[in-house]
Amino acid sequence: MAVDTRAAPQPAAKARPRPKREREEEVLVWPDLVFIEFISAVLFTITFLMLSVFINAPLLNRANPEQTPNPSKAPWYFLNLQELLLHMDKAWAGVLLPTIALAFFAAIPYIDRSREGQGVWFGSKNAVRLTVISAVYAVIISGALVAFDSGDRTYTENLTRWIPSCNGDAQHQGTPCLRDEGDDHIGIVSTKDISKRLEFSIPWPNALLADDDSNLDWPEDLDHIGVPFNNICGNIGSFHLWCDMHLNIPSIMAEQVIPLSSIAFFAVAIIYVLFRIGWLRTKRDLFIVMFTAVLVAYLTLSMVGSFFRGEGQNLIWPWEIKVDEG
Amino acid sequence: MAVTEDPGKPRNLSERIQALQDRAYNALFHNYVWQSIFRSGYPNTPRNQMLVVATNVFLHLHPTRIHRTHVKITHTYCLGGLTFFMFLILTVTGVLLMFYYVPSVERAYQDIAALETNVKFGLLMRNMHRWTAHAMVILVFLHMMRVFYTGAYKPPREFNWVVGVILLVLTLVLSFTGYLLPWDQLALWAVTVGHGIGGSAPYFGDETQLIVFGGFEVGPSTLIRFYTLHVIALPLIAAVFMAVHFWRIRRDGGMARPL
């Protein structure tokens, strides 16, 4: 019916090749794109139909609030948050870090406003090696951080076993010691132990302390420090703000300062190194490193949560996982 | 549409069959009713091929023409489209599951168990729903990676990237709310972990638990909340954002292309 006029022969006089017009680089959506979409939809339908024929969705026993399975795990895409919960303050692990990550993702195009390198895979000069390096780095660092923290098989436990057990009766511990709950002496199992089990005292002028025993005892002298003006109470709606607020310094150290500064240190370190060797030059490069590292760390922690956490969320090998369903 | 020159009288058998086929074809596709549904003719000419995309509500999200680099599979691996296709499968299988499911603590588990054993293709529908849900989460991540590594978030597509991040969150929340519905041990305790994470929000921890989970522990009110969110609220919100997402692809000049 309608004749394709684009195919009309050019006058012979204009033999010099001219740059192709935009229109000539285009194909029709029907059939070229619709066909691809249709085929991929069919392939995926068949694949999932087959998968569903052969593999059944899990259905365990009826939910029982009295029986806690050990370990109980979140869905795999939230297991990384559950993993973070073991290492740091729950507000940071569960809410603040994920929110920061998502806000960072959303902000990327508003900070990197360059238009270069779009529409092709890894369009900038060092994109591929930056991606590979930051992915490998994220796997190694997040894996190593897990191997050093939280679990009674961690390196840290081994390395800190020399710290003596605390004398239960002494008023001041003096040199650092670890308080043991059972009969066996174990080293530092998790960073959280720094505020929960580690104890020591140093001589300190009386005037600066609430108690007058001439000793600064970790953690009990520091776990209830009043915030300035905390006698002022305010409400916004139903939220109580700034009322009787106290800081637990040992817990802030163990669950916020140490884990967060570790993350920040390793992030800044790789960015600094890549910058100094000249591979990281633009905001796009910076974001390639950060985006890759965040995504790969997310995946790695999910893997750790899925395959390396057993009873009591202890670090174990995948073939040792047994779930006690309560 | 039926522009056919007069073939004259059929001479032999094959011409008779040909004539019969043409008549049948005309009767089927060139009749008044068919043409009231499909305004354009069979898409075998460029004009009709463009018309079929432009006049069909399902196809009109596409432009009528597209740059030839964009139909290369390796350019996108169809990841965004497949994510949307997973959403469609989930909608269909989800509606079928809803026929047999009552979101109450007393009945939920037993309904799922009965669905698996007593309902024809019930187990298959549930399996499909489960595996495509996981696939949607994976695909939405892969799609985000594709967009990032091809630099497709760059101007003028900044806002569509933000819409995409919102859709990522919606996908995760959709999947998570669905996780509770079978009301088995896996569901209860996975959501209990999430309940604890929600409760750890600074200042708003209690409010999060009360508003999102309906209480300070996972129970009947959590189930009905998650059910309502899962089957109506979140799919609707996600559909609105998807509409914006697809619309903006075209408004922002189609898919990203080298400058």
DSSP-derived secondary structure for B113-130: HHHHHHSTTHHHHHHHHH
Cβ contact, residue pair B71, A117, below 8 Å: no
Amino acid at A276: R
DSSP string, A267-323: HHHHHHHHHHTT---SHHHHHHHHHHHHHHHHHHHHHHHHHSB-GGG-B--GGG---
Alpha helices, DSSP H, located in B101-255: 108-118, 122-149, 158-180, 185-199, 205-212, 220-228, 234-251
Cβ contact, residue pair A119, B255, below 8 Å: yes
Closest partner residue to A91 (CB to CB) among B105, B152, B201 is B201
Cβ contact, residue pair B158, A110, below 8 Å: yes
To the nearest 10°, the Cα dihedral for A114, A116, A120, A121? -60
Name every chain B residue with its beta carbon within 8 A of the beta carbon of A84. none
Cβ contact, residue pair A60, B185, below 8 Å: yes
Q: How far is B34 from chain A (nearest CA, A)?
A: 20
Asked whether residue B91 carries a pLDDT value surpassing 90, the answer given is: yes
Distance CA B169, CA A102 (A): 9
Report how far apart, in Å, the C-alpha atoms of A155 and of each of A77, A86, A163, A183 are: 27, 16, 14, 21
Alpha carbon A242 to chain centroid, angstroms: 30
**CA-based nearest residue to A85, from A197, A194, A192:** A192
Average pLDDT over residues B196-225: 91
For chain A, 326 residues long, the average pLDDT of each consecutive 10-residue run is 50 61 82 92 96 95 90 92 91 93 96 89 91 97 88 77 79 80 80 84 69 74 75 64 75 91 96 95 94 96 92 84 69
pLDDT of residue A1: 45
Amino acid at B252: D
Structure tokens at A89: 């303050």
pLDDT of residue A223: 78
B76 neighbors B146 (Cβ within 8 angstroms): yes
Distance CA A214, CA B19 (A): 111
% of chain B beyond a pLDDT of 90? 64
Q: Is A26 helix (H, G, I), strand (E, B) or coil?
A: strand
Average pLDDT over residues B145-158: 94
Phi then psi dihedrals of residue B254, to 5 deg: 75, -170
Q: Is B152 helix (H, G, I), strand (E, B) or coil?
A: coil
pLDDT of residue B6: 62
The overall average pLDDT reported for chain B is: 91
A60 conformational bin, left if phi > 0, alpha if psi -120 to 50, beta if neither:
beta
C-alpha torsion sign, points A199, A202, A205, A208: negative
pLDDT of residue A260: 95
Alpha carbon A267 to chain centroid, angstroms: 12
Structure tokens at B208: 């999060």
Chains A, B: CB contacts under 8 A, how many? 252
Instruction: For chain B, list the domains and their CATH numbers.
Output: 14-55 (no CATH), 73-251 (1.20.810.10)
Tell me what ipTM this predicted complex has: 0.88
Asked whether residue B18 carries a pLDDT value surpassing 80, the answer given is: yes
Name every chain A residue with its beta carbon within 8 A of the beta carbon of B137. 77
Structure tokens at A202: 């140093």
Cβ contact, residue pair B193, A44, below 8 Å: no
**CA-based nearest residue to A190, from A221, A222, A147, A228:** A147
Alpha carbon A42 to chain centroid, angstroms: 36
Amino acid at A71: P
Name every chain B residue with its beta carbon within 8 A of the beta carbon of A38. none
Structure tokens at A281: 């030059």
pLDDT tens track for B108-146: 999 999 999 999 999 999 999 999 999 999 999 999 999
Asked whether residue B242 carries a pLDDT value surpassing 90, the answer given is: yes
**CA-based nearest residue to A151, from A114, A118, A188:** A188
